[in-house]
Amino acid sequence: MIRGVLKLVWHLAAVIGMVAIALVAWLWMQGITTRTPPGPLETSVSRMARLTMIPSAARQRPSSEPATADNVRSGSEHWADHCASCHANNGSGETEMGRGMYPPAPDMRLAATQDMIDGELFYIIENGVKLTGMPAWGTATPDGEQASWHLVQFIRRLPTISEAELAEMEEFNPRGAADWQALEQERRFLAGEGLTPPAPSTHKHKEQ
């Protein structure tokens, strides 16, 4: 009897050991690059793991904010300022940073994001996602939570957002000093105050 149990434990340990070796070998072969996105299996397993790690009370938490036009607008301005560098104004994730991450910033207009319930989106915004580029934005203040609910409401707009709304958001996208300078030069040029047209920014890794 004891010999049988020992044999079983031994077999189990051997299987676990082999799986661990295969996993390490697979990770080793992947290398450190973030240039190739995770495959469909890795993506669905990690997304499932992510959802199960969100406490159920947090998932069920209802929004404390009504989805008024003002609240959605506040979410869109906040998004343009803090989130668009990775997620893009339209939520596609088509930015240099968003594309280069592992996993990449998802296209949040699609069902994979839109099918998540409000409490899940809110929890991710407040707490971030470990081992990904998604930062935690929570400030543990009522104002911060209000802003995060507005962001959730804005995320719901993404699949039907209009060109006019996207154009308005550009006003709130962060700019470096060189971009502000070029904008000011452009304004002065158009107003007839200067003679030189604005120089295009030279700091570009690739065309967007």
Q: List contacts with ligand HEC (CB under 6 A).
A: 50, 82-83, 85-87, 97, 101, 103, 105-106, 108, 112-113, 121, 124-125, 129, 132-135, 137, 151
Give the residue with the Cβ less far from ligand HEC, 21 or 112: 112
Q: Write down the least CB distance from residue 125 to ligand HEC, Å.
A: 5
Tokens read off for 96: 């240099």
Give the residue with the Cβ less far from ligand HEC, 90 or 113: 113
Question: What does the alpha-carbon distance between residue 83 and residue 91 come to, in Å, rounded to a whole number?
Answer: 9
Question: What does the alpha-carbon distance between residue 12 and residue 27 come to, in Å, rounded to a whole number?
Answer: 22
Q: In one letter, which amino acid is 141?
A: T
Q: Write down the least CB distance from residue 195 to ligand HEC, Å.
A: 39
Give the residue with the Cβ less far from ligand HEC, 33 or 202: 33
Q: Write down the least CB distance from residue 174 to ligand HEC, Å.
A: 10
Task: Find the angle CA(78)-CA(150)-CA(58) to the nearest 5 degrees.
Answer: 120
Cis peptide before 37 (omega within 30 of 0): no
The b/e string for 192-207 (b: 16+ C-beta within 10 A; e otherwise) is eeeeeebeeeeeeeee
Give the residue with the Cβ less far from ligand HEC, 129 or 182: 129
Q: Write down the least CB distance from residue 144 to ligand HEC, Å.
A: 11
For residue 158, the 8-state DSSP code is G
